[in-house]
Amino acid sequence: MSYPGRKVVGVGRSRSMYVCRSCATPSPNWVGRCGSCGEWNTLEEVAVAPRSASSRTSAPGASVTARPIESVSADDGVPVPLGIDELDGVLGGGLVPGSVTLLGGEPGIGKSTLLLQAVAAAARAGRRVLYVSAEESASQVRSRAQRLGALEPELWLVADTDLGRVLDQYDEVEPDLVVVDSIQTVHLPDHGSAPGSVTQVRECAHRLVGEAKRRAISTVLVGHVTKEGALAGPRVLEHLVDTVLSFEGERHHALRLLRAVKHRFGSTGEVGVFEMRDRGLVGVPDASRLLLADRRPDIAGSVVLPAVEGHRALLVELQALVATSHLPSPRRSGQGIDSGRLSLLLAVLDQRIGVGVGGLDVYTLAVGGVKVIEPAADLALALAIISSLANRPIPADTVICGEIGLGGEVRSVGQLERRLGEAERMGFRRAIVPLSAPVRVGSLRCARVPHVGDAVRLLRLADDTEPPSADLRAVQ
Ligand code: TYD
Ligand code: MG
């Protein structure tokens, strides 16, 4: 039955819809701005396969059998290490044969460098690797490999953007491990759309996933994350792959963090830390030392925060500078700091303890190109701002962490013991922390503060002379 004036859509007819290149959210109509991620001009038309009357039934002859769950083998596959500790750690031991991993990150962050080093290590250990370069010529990859000490007999290279031709090489090379650099630059010519479009990226990934599973090849796909959304971003592929890794850092800083965003074969809590050097990426097992190397503790506005990334504690220096503004609306800037959180903290400081910065510029940053977005950084950031405003430095041997509520109260944070353990290991003597913290962690003494105002008094950052409470005096 049909109604007059209504189109019958569906059976046997090919339809189209729109998908955001940046966040993969579908939309039935084209709109200028994605309703989900808010990016402009990222919606792209994709064809939807016609719904045929028979599509719900399987092809003749193909049959699957449902089984009781207890009779299904639990063999997830054993990860094979690549030989780069910081990378293997994030992967929970290495790459599982037949698994597909997506490595996402901004252009220039070091994805190709990391993977070339990783596959060279795997080739050195006797695994056969095929490195597919769809961005750089074979000679460019070779010269980089030479610089990285990655020339290995078992490392095979093909520089081509036609994925059909690349897949033909699988029979020749019989690889155990394949890297496709990048998924946005390979294409299947039969699928008319342009390389990098949502349709091409998905189709190519489908083919690569199919081959990976069929031949038990561990496959790593490189995916660029572009702010402009000009290419289909890795989010378009997240559901297709087993593991999604994100490689992050500031291009102008040497430090890089690798984390698992999705991992079908293990936890997503491990974080790998690398430093970009002249001869490639070097794992940094002791990242706190690197991050604090250039610290000048006598400067007002500098605070050390015991942060956590996944399961790893890192000591990060936060800096604030409060300066006279010459602008009608003063600047509030946060590099590596959540700007919404910064505004919230400034409002709390103004309303709850009367420390106003109206008419002043406030610059804040997390040193070393690290991003600190956890609320556990609130107290450290607030005290860095007040320290700069008062022009009084915070003692060099003190770390600070705690979340601040809208009332100015200091709230507890996760993984306190891990944070404080790292501070103690690095030789810090005092910590200013929420009430839930222990009194002592080894030789580190904790001042437990109920309110941000108490921390200000404890550090003598304010002009008022009201003495701190007994609990606070004990650790001065
Ligand atoms: P690259 O791996 O090409 O980044 P991506 O594949 O993510 O686009 O790395 C690019 C940057 O890394 C480039 O700016 C130069 C720098 N680099 C080094 O500093 N040292 C090195 O040994 C290499 C190979 C690159
Ligand atoms: Mg690259």
Give the model confidence (pLDDT) of 222-237 as tens digits: 999 876 656 667 788 8
Contact of 220 with 80, CB cutoff 8 Å: no
Contact of 226 with 233, CB cutoff 8 Å: yes
Tell me: pLDDT of 449 over 90.
yes
Report how far ligand 2's centroid is from the alpha carbon of 116 (Å).
10
Closest approach atom of ligand 1 to CA 111: 7
Report how far ligand 1's centroid is from the alpha carbon of 103 (Å).
15
Ligand that lies nearest to the alpha carbon of residue 275, given by its number in the listed order: 1
pLDDT at 55: 47
**C-alpha span between 337 and 24 (Å, rounded):** 26
Q: Is the CB of 252 under 6 A from ligand 1?
A: no
pLDDT at 385: 97
**C-alpha span between 400 and 305 (Å, rounded):** 5
Report how far ligand 1's centroid is from the alpha carbon of 356 (Å).
44
What average pLDDT is seen over the chain? 88
Q: Is the CB of 108 under 6 A from ligand 1?
A: yes
**C-alpha span between 476 and 91 (Å, rounded):** 43
Q: Is the CB of 92 under 6 A from ligand 1?
A: no
**C-alpha span between 295 and 397 (Å, rounded):** 12
Nearest residue CA, atom 15 of ligand 1?
A: 108
Closest approach atom of ligand 1 to CA 222: 6
Report how far ligand 1's centroid is from the alpha carbon of 276 (Å).
8
pLDDT at 2: 40
End-to-end CA distance of the chain: 82
Closest approach atom of ligand 1 to CA 247: 7
State phi, psi for 231 to the nearest 5 degrees.
Answer: -115, 155
Write down the pTM of the prediction.
0.81
Of 141, 276, 277, 282, the residue with max ligand 1 atoms within 8 A of its CB, to mutate for a pocket test, comes to: 276
Quickly state the pLDDT bin for 11 (edges 50, 70, 90): very low
Q: Is the CB of 276 under 6 A from ligand 1?
A: yes
pLDDT at 307: 96
Closest approach atom of ligand 1 to CA 109: 7
Q: Is the CB of 184 under 6 A from ligand 1?
A: no
User: Is the peptide bond prior to 63 cis by the omega test (within 30 degrees of 0)?
Assistant: no
Nearest residue CA, atom 13 of ligand 1?
A: 108
Summarised one tens digit per residue, pLDDT across range 177-203 is: 999 999 999 999 988 788 888 889 999
Ligand that lies nearest to the alpha carbon of residue 246, given by its number in the listed order: 1
Summarised one tens digit per residue, pLDDT across range 149-175 is: 999 999 999 999 999 999 999 999 999
**C-alpha span between 379 and 403 (Å, rounded):** 6
Ligand that lies nearest to the alpha carbon of residue 109, given by its number in the listed order: 1
Average pLDDT over residues 322-349: 94
Q: Is the CB of 279 under 6 A from ligand 1?
A: yes
Nearest residue CA, atom 21 of ligand 1?
A: 280
Q: Is the CB of 107 under 6 A from ligand 1?
A: yes
Beta bridge partners of 410: 404
Residues whose CB falls within 8 Å of the CB of residue 351, separated by 6 or more in sequence, listed in order: 408
Closest approach atom of ligand 1 to CA 276: 19
Quickly state the pLDDT bin for 47 (edges 50, 70, 90): confident
Contact of 381 with 375, CB cutoff 8 Å: no
Residue of 150 and 465 predicted with greater confidence:
150
Tokens 């002791």 -> residue? 286
Q: Is the CB of 111 under 6 A from ligand 1?
A: yes
**C-alpha span between 56 and 76 (Å, rounded):** 29
Ligand that lies nearest to the alpha carbon of residue 111, given by its number in the listed order: 1
Nearest residue CA, atom 12 of ligand 1?
A: 110
Q: Is the CB of 105 under 6 A from ligand 1?
A: yes
Summarised one tens digit per residue, pLDDT across range 293-320 is: 888 888 999 999 999 988 889 999 999 9
Q: Which of 158, 150, 197 is nearest to 178 (CA)?
A: 158
Q: Is the CB of 414 under 6 A from ligand 1?
A: no
Average pLDDT over residues 409-425: 96
Average pLDDT over residues 386-396: 95
Contact of 97 with 217, CB cutoff 8 Å: yes
Summarised one tens digit per residue, pLDDT across range 204-214 is: 999 999 999 99
Q: Is the CB of 144 under 6 A from ligand 1?
A: yes
